[in-house]
A = this chain, B = another copy of it.
């Protein structure tokens, strides 16, 4: 008999079906024994006869089974149906007790214990839902960009030199030569603007940062975008907002059950306000009475205030802050021609926390040479990158979204490790 998924049972009332999945729970109410079976589509309630129950006697939760029975209406069951007169076949027996229960409403273990046992812990339905939403966000990312003529690229993670500076880069031996793990695909995506004008990449980025925070990882999945022939930085910001809006709304539409399970709601976009760092600081002074107008960056409290202001005054969960001091941003950020002390850079703040950084880039070869000299960088280490600019590059810009951090914020997690399948930090390389 062909397999039926739990979610498809309501359409099969009165029919004999075969389910396959995991023993999520066994519940005994007097003479009636319920087996809750879990498969990729959800759970199903089955009523076992004594012979079927005998077969899983001594076996534990997560045993893999096939159940055959008849679908009948049952108001009290999850989908309004249950499978009765069920016979059972054990596919893979489980004889050990799980490190923690994954069939209750909440997960009890500490984050550390959970992560140590992620290979089974991730089966907890709300955890699986979280990472199904993750796949939805990536789907939406590509769908929007492909529909707007962006080309997907995959660029090397093994590098001959450090793209973003030398402090937080992992180094290794590569057949007797030094190699570095890519901190981002930054230089490659800029190069590829010369080929395709519009590119994106989804791939790992590696940062050898030795501190532990709730929102940093040493390896993360970066969503990188770069676009040429822009008329200015606003084009890049427009793209970013439309992209995130599509990612979130399409994910919520695609996976409503999962969104509900983890409490993911669609943020308010409205019109995302944009203000320069200096204007943002003046706004904070006027509205909140704190004078940060001489600071080169926003503090976490500043970000929360700006988030509050955007929410209250603009009905938006997002706000752009632009024109950070040139000296504080990456070397490839373009200084504002009207005031080169400030750069054509932006941060997108989501609900009071920075979520995405981006910028218009320098697109002229000679300007790169001047910047490299001023910053004591060796152009020879960037010869491939510089070649692309030597031979004609349009005005261009882009951004990178940390996918785990976006998911973290959307589902309201406290720690980025809750929205990463198998996180890597200074203390964790396993599982």
Binding site for B on A (CB under 8 A): 3, 20, 22-23, 39-40, 62-64, 91-94, 96, 98, 117-120, 122-123, 127-128, 131-132, 134-135, 138-139, 142, 146, 149, 151-161, 170-175, 177, 179, 181, 188, 191-192, 194-198, 202-204, 206, 208, 210, 218-219, 221, 229, 363-364, 383-385, 387-388, 390-395, 403, 421-424, 426, 429-431
- How many copies, total? 2
Take A120-B387, A155-B421, A156-B424 as given contacts and tell me if A40 and B392 are in contact as well, using a CB distance cutoff of 8 Å: no
Across the interface, do B122 and A393 meet the contact criterion of CB distance under 8 Å? no
Contacts of A388 in B (CB 8 A): 119-120
Contacts of A135 in B (CB 8 A): 151-153
Min CB gap A425→B, angstroms: 9
Across the interface, do B431 and A123 meet the contact criterion of CB distance under 8 Å? no
Contacts of A202 in B (CB 8 A): 154, 202
Across the interface, do B159 and A138 meet the contact criterion of CB distance under 8 Å? no
Across the interface, do B204 and A98 meet the contact criterion of CB distance under 8 Å? no
Take A195-B123, A387-B431, A431-B383 as given contacts and tell me if A92 and B393 are in contact as well, using a CB distance cutoff of 8 Å: yes
Task: Give the CA-CA distance A78 to B278 in the complex, in Å.
Answer: 51
Selected contact of A153 from candidates B391, B421, B429, CB within 8 Å: B421
Across the interface, do A63 and B422 meet the contact criterion of CB distance under 8 Å? no
Interface of A is mostly: mixed
Min CB gap A226→B, angstroms: 13
Take A153-B135, A174-B429 as given contacts and tell me if A218 and B158 are in contact as well, using a CB distance cutoff of 8 Å: yes
Take A62-B392, A128-B196, A203-B203 as given contacts and tell me if A364 and B120 are in contact as well, using a CB distance cutoff of 8 Å: no
* Nearest-neighbor residue (CB-CB) of A388 within chain B: B119
Contacts of A138 in B (CB 8 A): 152
Across the interface, do A426 and B175 meet the contact criterion of CB distance under 8 Å? yes
Across the interface, do B40 and A198 meet the contact criterion of CB distance under 8 Å? yes
Selected contact of A392 from candidates B22, B151, B160, B173, CB within 8 Å: B22
18 new A-B contacts, CB < 8 A, other than A20-B229, A160-B430, A171-B173, are A92-B394, A94-B392, A98-B391, A119-B384, A119-B388, A120-B388, A123-B195, A132-B196, A154-B421, A156-B219, A158-B219, A158-B424, A161-B430, A171-B172, A172-B172, A175-B208, A188-B422, A192-B421
Across the interface, do A431 and B204 meet the contact criterion of CB distance under 8 Å? no
Min CB gap A186→B, angstroms: 14
Contacts of A159 in B (CB 8 A): 429
* Nearest-neighbor residue (CB-CB) of A190 within chain B: B119
Contacts of A92 in B (CB 8 A): 363-364, 392-394
Contacts of A118 in B (CB 8 A): 384
Across the interface, do A117 and B422 meet the contact criterion of CB distance under 8 Å? no
Take A387-B120, A429-B177, A429-B179 as given contacts and tell me if A197 and B40 are in contact as well, using a CB distance cutoff of 8 Å: yes
Contacts of A195 in B (CB 8 A): 122-123, 127-128, 131
Take A3-B229, A92-B394, A390-B96 as given contacts and tell me if A157 and B429 are in contact as well, using a CB distance cutoff of 8 Å: no
Take A155-B422, A391-B96 as given contacts and tell me if A196 and B160 are in contact as well, using a CB distance cutoff of 8 Å: no
Contacts of A155 in B (CB 8 A): 421-422
Contacts of A218 in B (CB 8 A): 158, 174
